[in-house]
Structure 1
């Protein structure tokens, strides 16, 4: 055969036809791919299992730590509550003790006053005997301008006899820019006369309630007592208008 000028000439080689070998090569390649895929799967599985196990362990540890923290927080909260309660109890106890002490002091003062009162009745001094004005008390009431009053008249003597006499009580204050004197009987329904009758052996209380006129500013009380009889003594005293709380 003549060659065509200008075209490329290729060498030809004859090889035997082996279809089984080709199939075997393809099968080997498939096996290699399957083994690689399986290896990658199992490697990922074991790695994932290990990671999950670590995560579960860490989660369990965090759960335990959370429980411990909650228990500690509850314990601290209980301690704070106990301390707060103890503080309130101490404060209440302290206030209660303080109140009791004040009440005891008031009782002692009242008893000492009573002792002095009765001692003065039974054992008067030479310079202090006969008709005497004792305590004078003014206490406010729930009604504005209305007050309760108490005047204690005493007889200081070594040999007590029934004493008769009279007591006059005037309230001195300012009204309409001037000084005004108002007898007690005009301010109190408990007193029916300007001359309050006295009759006692040891002491007599003159008490009741009085109401001040509107616009009247009380400043003091003036008391004057006169014992009956030729040798009856007379005593006068003036007290500032000092009102005690209820």
Structure 2
């Protein structure tokens, strides 16, 4: 062959023709790929089974913990409920005991007051005898303008005789700024006249309900009691307007 000047000369090699070799390598590659896919599949399946088993075990463990925590929570709730109930019972018992103590103290005070009252009736002091204005109580009601009253008129003596006389019961206050005096007769249906009749041997209770007119602001109560007869006497006493709440 004639060589062309200036062109690159390549060496030629003669090889044996093998038509099955590409097919072999193609099949080999396919087998390797299939083996890799199968291995990946089984490895993934294996890992999935292991992870699923671990997840199931973790789930079962968490279920057990949740059950234990639920039981513990229920026990704590029951303990809290028992403590609350016990606290309520204790508070109720304490309140009942306190109320009983208060009631007993009030009863003792009332009895002591009664003893003092009757002792004064039967054995008055040297400078404290004859007609006497005793205690006065004014009690509130559901109506802010209505009040209950209870007045005790006494006779202190060693030899009690029937005492007769009269009582004037007046409430002094202000109506639109002006000083005004109202008789109990004007305010209470239980009183029949300005002069309240007195007749008793030891004591007499004067009680009922009074209603104050609108705009009238009470300041004090003025009492004048007078006995009749041979040893007639007159006593006066003033009380500030003090209302005992219900």
Q: TM-score range by the shorter chain?
A: 0.7 to 0.9
Q: Give the TM-score normalised by structure 1.
A: 0.78
CA distance in 2, matches of 1:201, 1:73: 75
| Residue in structure 1 matched with residue 162 of structure 2 by the alignment | 162
Distance 2:15 2:127 in 1: 168
| Structure 1: tracts of 5 or more residues without a match | 14-24
- Structure 2 residue 115 is matched with structure 1 residue 128: no
The equivalent residue for 2:233 is: 233
Change (3 A) 1:45 1:243: closer
Task: Give the match for residue 202 of structure 1.
Answer: 202
For the structure 1 residues 208 and 52, does the alpha-carbon distance in structure 2 shift closer, same or farther, using more than 3 Å as the test? closer
Q: Which residue of 2 aligns with 1:116?
A: 116
Residue aligning to 2:106: 106
1:22 is matched with none
Residues 12 and 124 (structure 1 numbering): CA distance in 2 closer, same or farther, change over 3 Å? closer
Alignment of 1:83-102 (within 5 A): 83-102=83-102
Give the whole-Å Cα distance in 1 for the aligned partners of 2:177 and 2:55: 96
Which residue of structure 1 aligns with residue 144 of structure 2?
144
Q: Would you say how many aligned residue pairs link Structure 1 and Structure 2? A: 235
2:184 matches 1:184: yes
1:80 matched to 2:97? The reply is no
1:126–1:38 CA distance, 2 compared to 1 (3 A): same
Report the 3-state secondary structure (helix = DSSP H, G, I; strand = E; otherwise coil) of the residue aligned with 2:188: coil
Which residue in 2 is equivalent to 1:243?
Answer: 243
Structure 1 position 136, deviation (Å)? 0.8
The alpha-carbon deviation at position 200 of structure 1 amounts to: 0.8
